[in-house]
Amino acid sequence: MNALLTFFLPALVCLTARAVEELPSWAIKAFNEKLSARYELVQKMEPSFFAGDFNGDGRSDVALLIQERTTGKVGIAILESGKNQFKILGAGKFFGNGGDDFSWMDVWSMRHSGKADQLFVGKRKAASAVIYWDGSKYKWQQEGD
């Protein structure tokens, strides 16, 4: 299984990623106003963010790699456009089997599935999971370890 994941993962990332070149201005503004005092943007993987409809409301949201300034813990911030809301996954806040620090993560991509886009997170040759919206909150679904 790990051999298959290692072989097909790069192709899957290329096929499912819909990264935009530049962070949308509304997302920069929202991050600066609401999150920049506690978190900083992380450039540990490419791309460092994805634009997609993560909550299924028909509007483009943004998922960013972030790091909590005081602890150095890594995670994902999902900024929901139109709602002026955000959700922190990891980065000092426990979320699923990912815990409160996603620094273990060395690959991520976006998948298009049904109404809402999903985030795939993983560690090569180890664990992986899908983060998805269930209609009321973000959930963690373990795929492999």
pLDDT in tens, 92-136: 999 999 999 999 999 999 999 888 999 999 998 888 999 999 989
Per DSSP, the residues of 81-100 read TTTTEEEEEETTB-BGGGBT
- The residues, any chain, with a CB within 8 Å of residue 32's CB and separated by 6 or more, are none
51 strand-pairing partners: 62
Domain positions in the chain are: 2-144
pTM for this model (two decimals): 0.83
